[in-house]
Amino acid sequence: MGEIMEGLQQIISSVKKDELPESEIIKVYEKSLFKEKDTSIIIIKAENEKYLLAVGNDHLFQDLNGEEYGNDAKLCPLTHENRLVLNEYFDFTKPRAFGQNETTIGLGDRLGLATPGHVEAVRTSKMRPVFAQQSIRELDLTNRKMEDVIDSAAYSVIQAGYTDGYGADGDHLKEESDIKHELELGISMLTLDCSDYIRNDVDLDNHGEVEAAYQPFNQEIKQYYEDKYLGKSYQIEHNDLVFDKHELMKVVVVYHKAIEYMVYIYKTYIEPLDRDIDFEISIDETMTITTPFDHFFVSKELYDQDVQVTSLAPRFCGEFQKGIDYIGDIAQFEQELEVHANIADYFKYKLSIHSGSDKLSVFPLISEKTHKRFHLKTAGTNWLEAVRLIAIHEPNLYRNIHQYALDHFAETQKYYHITPNIEDIKPIEQLTETQYQSYLEDDNARQLLHVSYGLLLTVKNENGHYIFKDDIYAILEKYEDEYAELLKNHIGKHLELLNFNSK
């Protein structure tokens, strides 16, 4: 640390006195101190801007781009290019795959500021984190790129001194162009969203309609499936799966095209890679609940075509809506979860639970029935903790955010399936400023605020200036330690109920 502090003093003494504020303006993140041969690095913050301070004289020092002070001190911006340099010297800064047997949690960070808090939540846990997780929808709504998401995660693990490894998930990718691009960026997990290939336009309770949809398949395809499944019995733990003709027709109609796409993506983009990657299949974005026949059929076809699946996300019974607890019959969920977990075990992959944040009532069941072998995706709940921080420290800003979200609810609701009762949200003028954070305990208000993040972070006034974004980031930077503590406690509650709160 001594040489770093000398380098820091060297920089300070090189800067003109009138360029420095009168008060202390440099924050040193001591956990971020790392050394590679003769170069030491550490992250500092000056005037609300973070930098990487490098002190040394070897290859790492030379490769980093920044402003030099003397012969051996360099102040480097936290750019994408510098992140790629650090990847070459510090392996823990690169996203990594965790495989089929490590329990993982996706911790989507829509602001690029949440990872330090996420680190503190998982630091003493056996849960493996996927810190960089964003869907194309989330990227579009926040005007970010996946490069930004991975950059933020990489610099944050340095800042927090976290060397146990993290994943980067290209979440709910559909298009080949996006898949190819994000794989080139180095994502370690690909969640393939097959919803565009899963049929939702057939009434599966109508035998005639199912048969009419099945008949156009060519005879070779029909013969393949009928020879393979009809008259066969598959035993999954205590459950026997026997496909009758109608059940088989249903799964073929709904999933045949999707399976073709899954296999194509795997064979074209995943199999040729010279590195490990976690390949997740998402079949949860559908209108109907995933039955055991659906789940088994999809998995069996992938297994028989040598597609190596790391995790699979079915659509469960009940409602996994954003930012609130599970809605539905917990006894039914428990029964069906056990069957899905058994199928996942049969094919040796993890069960994935999407929209998993805040499902506190079913977390113990998820841990128990999967034998702690699962992947849980969270995202919006971290944004909501940011909103909580704003409600605590900047009530006037919160009030404006709250009202804007209410006024534009219809515009934002189209992006997510949620069912809040807006009329039940207590008018904000009836609350005192100290009570604003109570909205974060109300399901209706949570969902309102959840779906509004994209609009709030991108809306501009007539002069082209952000109405909320700059103020939001300023508050989160000012109270970054408190934001990290809120996230540590909130995600920590998730881990505790999942029985993963300590190693």
The catalytic residue positions are 171, 280
The dihedral region occupied by 430, where left means phi > 0, alpha psi between -120 and 50, and beta the remainder, is alpha
Residues 352-357: contacts with CB under 8 Å, at least 24 apart: 352/280, 352/282, 352/311, 352/312, 352/313, 352/376, 352/377, 353/313, 353/316, 353/320, 353/377, 354/282, 354/284, 354/313, 354/320, 355/320, 355/321, 355/322, 356/106, 356/320, 357/322, 357/323, 357/381, 357/494
Burial class from Cβ neighbours inside 10 Å (0-12, 13-18, 19+) for residue 366 reads: buried
Q: Are strands 350-353 and 374-378 parallel, antiparallel or unpaired?
A: parallel
d(CA 412, CA 380): 14
Q: Give Cα separations from 179 to 185, 189, 261 (angstroms).
A: 10, 11, 13
Q: Tokens representing 82? A: 């510098």
Cα Rg of the chain (Å, integer)? 25
291: which DSSP letter? Answer: P
Q: Give Cα separations from 488 to 284, 435, 449, 476, 492 (angstroms).
A: 28, 22, 21, 15, 6
Cα 399 to its chain centre, rounded Å, is 28
Helix H, strand E, coil C: the string for 404-427 is HHHHCHHHHHCCCCCCCCHHHCCC
